[in-house]
Structure 1
Amino acid sequence: LVRSQILIAQGHELFSDEVGIPPQDEIPRNGYAIQARITTEDPENNFAPDYGRILNYRSAAGFGIRLDAGAGDAGSIITPFYDSMLVKLTAFGSRFDVALSRMSRALREFRIRGVKTNIPFIENVINDPTFRSGQATTRLIDTNPDLFKFTPRRDRATKLLNYLSDVTVNGNATAKGYDPERIIPPARLPHYAPKIDKPKGSRDKLLEIGPEKFAEWARDETRLLITDTTMRDAHQSLLATRMRTVDMLNVADAIAQRTPELFSLEMWGGATFDTAMRFLSECPWERLAALREKVPNICFQMLFRGSNAVGYSNYPDNVVAGFVKHAADAGMDIFRIFDSLNYLPNMQVAMEAAREHGKVICEGTVCYTGNLTGKYDLNYYINKAKELEKMGAHTLCIKDMAGLARPAAAKQLVSALKQEIGIPIHFHTHDSSGINAASVLAASEAGVDIVDLAISSMSGSTSQPNLNSVVAALEGQERETGLDGDALQEFADYWEQVLEFYKPFDTSPRSGTAEVYTHEMPGGQFTNLKEQANAMGLGHRWPEIARCYAEVNDLFGDIIKVTPSSKVVGDMAMFLITRGMTPQEVLEIEPGSVDFPESVIDMLWGGLGQPDGGWPKDVQKAVLGNKEPTTKRPGELAEPVDLEATRAELSKTLGREATDNDLYSHLMYPQVFADFQKFLENYDRLTGLPTTAFFYGLQIGEEVHIEIAAGKILFVKLISIGDANEDGVRNVFFELNGMPREATVVDHKLAPKDVVTREKGNPKDPLQAVAPMPGMVTEINAEVGQQVEEGDPIVTLEAMKMLTTISAGQAGKVTEILVVKGEPVESGDLLAKLEA
């Protein structure tokens, strides 16, 4: 072009031989070409320039593609002082549509991480029907708002590397104190034939004949039916509920194929719902769906806390009923419904919802404590069982959550119940005493229909009795289970290897203990409360805590103890221990003068319902002061939740349509769900990440593979960890699918105390002012306490000589200004907070 300009300036004709441009009518059209300028401009923010370090840069290539490179390269620093163009991408083809297809393919091949680009906008343009038809004009952008509707880029690989960098350098907060010095090998999987159809099992029978006839079948079956609790109560009892979904999925196919004789798999509910989101950063609903896909033939069973659902307080009736229906629709088959005080009115709504669904089993539950003497004698349990049968239970569960049912008592209770009720009896116990397998066998002799057991390597102590051993003990007997002992042993070998992944959480006693008959602590609570004591620095006082737990139970009137009532007893015990008080001293204080835990106040007010005989009046007076207790069913006092209005509000917060999974997770645990969503924004879903990498990060040279979608696997290898700079920041070097990648992370042990990490905001929250791009604060347009209207300016930023005003998303009062004039900010930094 420049040469032609010089020649023309010298007097040569445009079409002369010297210039070499033929006349227009001699220029043939040999095809079509399209050029796209890829820049670091954000189309979602009015094409504001972005700058920073390019973390990863992968170019497109192939026939019909030309690249004229600019500043684009991994490691390049994009500054605010120069042109933001990274590369010119040219696609050509014999036809216009061919050139467009090549351009589209090339744009999809680009991977540019660390800075925002205009690629999503270019993709929308070249895929626009008007543009593809050749009818586009210069008004195309002005008249087509759909060009600015973008599918969010998940960037899962970068988020995964960021997580691995952080956990490798800083550790996982929930697994502190354990840092394996070697690479822990993956667990060896049990054998199964993936191409063979899974045999018919209990779920096939339930779907075929319906819940009523299914219950009759279970009652008439000669063999002892088995529920395997390994995927729920076993790890809740042994490992503080920390079992991750990936370790369940790895063995699920083999379970479905090799043990279809199981009555059910208990794999959901109880504490797993909270823990999955809070500590494992997993969606409990996705766990249910993923396991359901792999195990379509065996009934799934969940523990449902009556009006407490899967939470720790009472929920409105329509929330409880809605949760049951949604869980049933999602694939749950057996709802073990109980109340933590055996207060049957609290179970009614959930039981009715399960029965109304018509395709699931409603298992009414009576919680067991004591030794068939005193307050909780044989008549107590018989009366409760009869009432549950009248309420519509398909099956009855005796829930011995602390392992208190001694063999003679188990036999006596089952024998009596078999004479009094006509529905199947399901016996649940824990092996806390060390002799509860004998209780299971005694119950079997008395005619119990179903029992809960755990795979041998996950059994014993605060978990359930040994499934493998009970199956072996019944071989050749009338009640032989029909389960394959070889398959069970392979499962035991698998789980034994998996246990090594969870060493920091294994705080269960090494052996059974008769102490359980004193403190009566549920097996599922034992490890959780011990973990809580350790976290508070009180682990060395555990015997004292256990004694205080028993004394608090007596103070409350010797109540049924299972979540959430057991949690309240634990809360009170920890409260008294930390304050140097005894349970007796509670009765000696001025009523209402001590701020007891909210859970204690709520329970004694009547928030969990009523124990048989009511609450001790003197204890209520001491704790509640002048607050008047209630004897009404808590669900009657709770206003129904407007589910669709709640969904609409939640959708605004999430920036997308809230699903039923989102809705019920939010209703159960609003803050936990919000924190989980924040984790997903930062790191995306890590369900497929091997457990050792999730908790402990990677060792140098260790490689893991992660399936992030069906057929899409990432291979990640840790190469090295760089030295920290003066701010404590390290570079962590990986290979991702064979290509070099790096991430940066602050080493918390080395970071200077005065280095401030700015809080990130939620741009979807109208009560937050969030930086849409990196820049410099040039003006503070509002002040704390000022009342602002929607659209009023809050902060002004400057980047690349472009001013951007961040305005109020809605009317409100400014509560915090988090920046000062002249301060640099990064994209996503929280600048100010408002309140409505």
Structure 2
Amino acid sequence: MKAQTRLLLTDTTMRDAHQSLLATRMRSIDMIRAAPAYAQLLPDLFSVECWGGATFDVAYRFLQECPWQRLRDIRERLPNIMTQMLLRASNAVGYTNYPDNVVRAFVHRAAESGVDVFRVFDSLNWVENMRVAMDAVIETGKICEAAICYTGDILDPARSKYSLSYYVQMARELEAAGAHVLGLKDMAGLLKAPAARVLFRALREEVSLPIHFHTHDTSGAAAATILAAAETGVDAVDAAMDAFSGGTSQPCLGSIVEALRGTERETGLDIGAIRTISNYWEAVRVQYAAFESGLQAPASEVYLHEMPGGQFTNLKAQARSLGLEERWHEVAQAYADANLMFGDIVKVTPSSKVVGDMALMMVAQGLTREQVEDPSVEVAFPDSVVDMLRGNLGQPPGGWPEGLVRKVLKGETPRTDRPGAHLPPVDLEAAREKAQKEIGQPLDDEDLMGYLMYPKVFSDYAARHRTYGPVRTLPTPTFFYGMEPGEEISVEIDPGKTLEIRLQAVGETGDDGDVRVFFELNGQPRTIRVPNRKVQGSAPRRPKAEPGNPGHVGAPMPGVVASIAVQPGKPVRAGDLLLTIEAMKMETGIHADRDGTVKAVHVAPGAQIDAKDLLVEIE
């Protein structure tokens, strides 16, 4: 890349577009239809980012489709452009550390299934935590793009922790570790144009690697930063198709191409082709209106809270579920306070989630930073905070604040070395055999990797797939919103095998909650009974946890009860696991905050719950 003067671009539309619920909910069918157009009209793109990060588990969890199938389908239809994925180093595509051999096996499987460029990062910028994943990528012969996560402001003397020398030193370490490309991952869109000129000039002078820049447009100023980066010789930048750009997504690809036209950094991309493909995405976006981020205008508030583009919408949804939507600006301030309380850390999945958990708790309970840090004030910290300060995410520059560690861990000694070094290797074949017995079907290597990343999520997906078949082939409006009587759709379930489905009528809902559906399948009349999920709206509401009642354990957010760990009449001690909730793409453990006896359990596994629903009573 360095020999070229023109700027190379990566299109992020298929993975990062709008960095919200909309981005992670995008279905394979919409991506696959676009892939041949990219191959034919935009062959000069550096890469298309289309996999990894949150899109992996969301495919199983919400879209009822296999992320590996998505990757293979895109690879087949996009043979002349590199595919790119986001890899969370030792977290792979999960939210916890995995054994080293699992990380290596995942990387090798992803390379074989179609990934060309692996963007590897660590949520705390700890190079030691990146090496296993980087080595695995290099072993595959694919491109290892090792990324530095940008935070702070190198031109602000008050943020000296993340100075110019900090970024230069990390770049040197990543080059020495064998990276093929140096990535600069500005996940919140904090890098401003003047700072970009200083930073990229220094990186260009100190390392010999090509430089790839990724940012978000939450502030509305990211295009200026990209142009400044181009001036200083950055080799490649990320952008989103016009129809999916701006907001918490990337800057507009077409506008960047036009802005550089006639300069020595001209991209060479066909603006007509960009507009043609963008027109397709514009029509697709309408189908995902329910998942829009709600960001109506650029927000300079991002320089206060420093939330990554991928977290912004999820945290807003969590705040809404807790009744804090009208207090969003307090949440933003609490997020900034929590960050400084943790020592001013890099905030990207999964560390960003920990800061968000702490911020929501502070606002919900009316706690200030001073109270949280005060040793004399009792605080029940979120599990994610306890886990992070134990050292299970790794180490930030300078370590964790000692006073906060003492208060959170209550005398427990934290780990300061690499978490993955303490995890025993997984016997992959034994794990496959165990999973096959549990799920009741054979698992190939892709399925095994999905199971190892997310055992319960994958098991639930496999069970739904056995029941409903390849729903990934349904048209997007039908998948999300259903059909209306008289509507007809065509569904290609296999190459050359198409079903013509016409909905005729929907009957009355029975006492059992099932409804009769009358339809035609390839012209033949059919009838089926299915659960009517709409009847849940008239179901009795669950009791709510009483505010101030220490014996009531309420739901911190909406979700589904994944498991129950206690029984009525049994004793519990402070810290014991009561139950787990699956919500916001993750499982959250609910723990007892006091000793006592379980008086009642008000939910069962699989139950849908709302925020503040009464879950358990302890006396």
Query: Are 1:697 and 2:482 counterparts?
Result: yes
3-state DSSP class of the match of 2:15? Answer: helix
Query: Are 1:649 and 2:434 counterparts?
Result: yes
| Partner Cα separation in structure 1 for residue 34 and residue 133 of structure 2 | 31
Quickly say closer, same or farther: Cα 1:238–1:724, change in 2 above 3 A: closer
2:338 pairs with 552, 569, 578, which one?
552
| Partner Cα separation in structure 2 for residue 701 and residue 579 of structure 1 | 51
Alignment match, 2:149: 367
Percent pairwise identity: 55
| Partner Cα separation in structure 2 for residue 750 and residue 246 of structure 1 | 30
Query: Are 1:476 and 2:251 counterparts?
Result: no
3-state DSSP class of the match of 1:687? Answer: helix
Q: Are the counterparts in 2 of residues 460 and 466 from structure 1 also a CA contact under 8 Å?
A: yes
Alignment match, 1:300: 83
Quickly say closer, same or farther: Cα 1:297–1:240, change in 2 above 3 A: closer
Quickly say closer, same or farther: Cα 1:667–1:353, change in 2 above 3 A: same
Alignment match, 2:467: 682
Structure 1 residue 656: Cα displacement: 3.0
In the TM superposition, what are the counterparts of 1:387-426 in structure 2 within 5 Å? Answer: 387-426=173-212
Alignment match, 1:269: 52
| Partner Cα separation in structure 1 for residue 241 and residue 187 of structure 2 | 18
Alignment match, 1:535: 321
Alignment match, 1:252: 35
Alignment match, 1:353: 136
Deviation string 1:310-338 (CA, Å, 9 cap, x unpaired) is 11111111111111111111110001000
Q: Are the counterparts in 2 of residues 238 and 462 from structure 1 also a CA contact under 8 Å?
A: no
Quickly say closer, same or farther: Cα 1:719–1:589, change in 2 above 3 A: farther
Alignment match, 2:383: 598
| Partner Cα separation in structure 1 for residue 496 and residue 534 of structure 2 | 39
Alignment match, 1:620: 405
3-state DSSP class of the match of 1:744? Answer: strand
Alignment match, 2:580: none
Q: Which moved more, 1:633-642 or 1:502-511?
A: 502-511
3-state DSSP class of the match of 2:415? Answer: coil
Quickly say closer, same or farther: Cα 1:636–1:456, change in 2 above 3 A: same
| Partner Cα separation in structure 2 for residue 482 and residue 427 of structure 1 | 18
1:328 pairs with 104, 108, 111, which one?
111
| Partner Cα separation in structure 2 for residue 234 and residue 753 of structure 1 | 37
Alignment match, 1:607: 392
Q: Are the counterparts in 1 of residues 20 and 291 from structure 2 also a CA contact under 8 Å?
A: no
| Partner Cα separation in structure 1 for residue 530 and residue 433 of structure 2 | 37
| Partner Cα separation in structure 2 for residue 657 and residue 638 of structure 1 | 27
Alignment match, 2:563: none
TM-score normalised over the length of structure 1: 0.63
Quickly say closer, same or farther: Cα 1:728–1:587, change in 2 above 3 A: same
Quickly say closer, same or farther: Cα 1:643–1:727, change in 2 above 3 A: closer
Query: Are 1:739 and 2:524 counterparts?
Result: yes
Q: Are the counterparts in 1 of residues 439 and 459 from structure 2 also a CA contact under 8 Å?
A: no
Query: Are 1:713 and 2:535 counterparts?
Result: no
Structure 1 spans left out of the alignment, 5+ residues: 1-217, 755-836
Q: Which moved more, 1:464-473 or 1:536-545?
A: 536-545
| Partner Cα separation in structure 2 for residue 314 and residue 726 of structure 1 | 47
Deviation string 1:650-709 (CA, Å, 9 cap, x unpaired) is 122233332111111111111111111121122122111111111110122111111111
Alignment match, 2:242: 456
Alignment match, 1:65: none
Alignment match, 1:384: 170
Alignment match, 2:308: 522
Structure 2 spans left out of the alignment, 5+ residues: 541-619
Query: What one-letter code is carried by the residue in structure 1 that aligns with 2:163?
Result: D
| Partner Cα separation in structure 1 for residue 218 and residue 208 of structure 2 | 30
1:576 pairs with 348, 352, 362, which one?
362
In the TM superposition, what are the counterparts of 1:55-454 in structure 2 within 5 Å? Answer: 218-237=1-20, 239=22, 241-358=24-141, 360-372=142-154, 373=156, 374-454=160-240
3-state DSSP class of the match of 2:287? Answer: helix
In the TM superposition, what are the counterparts of 1:33-44 in structure 2 within 5 Å? Answer: none
Moved over 4 A (4+): 748-754
Larger-Rg structure: 1
3-state DSSP class of the match of 1:600? Answer: helix
Query: What one-letter code is carried by the residue in structure 2 that aligns with 1:431?
Result: D
Structure 1 residue 628: Cα displacement: 1.1
3-state DSSP class of the match of 2:50? Answer: strand
Q: Are the counterparts in 2 of residues 403 and 522 from structure 1 also a CA contact under 8 Å?
A: yes
Q: Which moved more, 1:232-241 or 1:595-604?
A: 232-241
| Partner Cα separation in structure 2 for residue 728 and residue 634 of structure 1 | 48
Structure 1 residue 302: Cα displacement: 0.5
Q: How many residues align?
A: 535
| Partner Cα separation in structure 2 for residue 533 and residue 274 of structure 1 | 22
In the TM superposition, what are the counterparts of 1:489-500 in structure 2 within 5 Å? Answer: 489-500=275-286
Q: Are the counterparts in 1 of residues 152 and 162 from structure 2 also a CA contact under 8 Å?
A: yes
Query: What one-letter code is carried by the residue in structure 2 that aligns with 1:423?
Result: L
3-state DSSP class of the match of 2:202? Answer: helix
Q: Are the counterparts in 2 of residues 702 and 717 from structure 1 also a CA contact under 8 Å?
A: yes
| Partner Cα separation in structure 2 for residue 747 and residue 318 of structure 1 | 44
Query: What one-letter code is carried by the residue in structure 2 that aligns with 1:344?
Result: V
Structure 1 residue 585: Cα displacement: 1.5
| Partner Cα separation in structure 2 for residue 746 and residue 222 of structure 1 | 60
Query: What one-letter code is carried by the residue in structure 1 that aligns with 2:323?
Result: G
Tell me the C-alpha RMSD between the 2 structures.
Answer: 1.6
Query: What one-letter code is carried by the residue in structure 1 that aligns with 2:144?
Result: C
| Partner Cα separation in structure 1 for residue 358 and residue 499 of structure 2 | 48
Deviation string 1:330-351 (CA, Å, 9 cap, x unpaired) is 1100010000100000000011
Structure 1 residue 749: Cα displacement: 4.7
| Partner Cα separation in structure 2 for residue 750 and residue 610 of structure 1 | 49
Deviation string 1:31-50 (CA, Å, 9 cap, x unpaired) is xxxxxxxxxxxxxxxxxxxx
Query: What one-letter code is carried by the residue in structure 2 that aligns with 1:658?
Result: L
Query: What one-letter code is carried by the residue in structure 2 that aligns with 1:484?
Result: D
Q: Are the counterparts in 2 of residues 301 and 334 from structure 1 also a CA contact under 8 Å?
A: yes
3-state DSSP class of the match of 2:509? Answer: coil
Q: Which moved more, 1:394-403 or 1:694-703?
A: 694-703
Q: Are the counterparts in 2 of residues 239 and 508 from structure 1 also a CA contact under 8 Å?
A: no
Quickly say closer, same or farther: Cα 1:343–1:280, change in 2 above 3 A: same
Q: Are the counterparts in 2 of residues 269 and 303 from structure 1 also a CA contact under 8 Å?
A: yes
Query: What one-letter code is carried by the residue in structure 1 that aligns with 2:332?
Result: A
Alignment match, 1:129: none
Quickly say closer, same or farther: Cα 1:536–1:716, change in 2 above 3 A: farther
Q: Are the counterparts in 1 of residues 10 and 236 from structure 2 also a CA contact under 8 Å?
A: yes
Alignment match, 2:293: 507
Quickly say closer, same or farther: Cα 1:407–1:238, change in 2 above 3 A: farther
| Partner Cα separation in structure 1 for residue 24 and residue 297 of structure 2 | 19
Quickly say closer, same or farther: Cα 1:715–1:521, change in 2 above 3 A: same
Q: Are the counterparts in 2 of residues 239 and 527 from structure 1 also a CA contact under 8 Å?
A: no
Structure 1 residue 238: Cα displacement: 6.3
Q: Are the counterparts in 2 of residues 723 and 730 from structure 1 also a CA contact under 8 Å?
A: yes
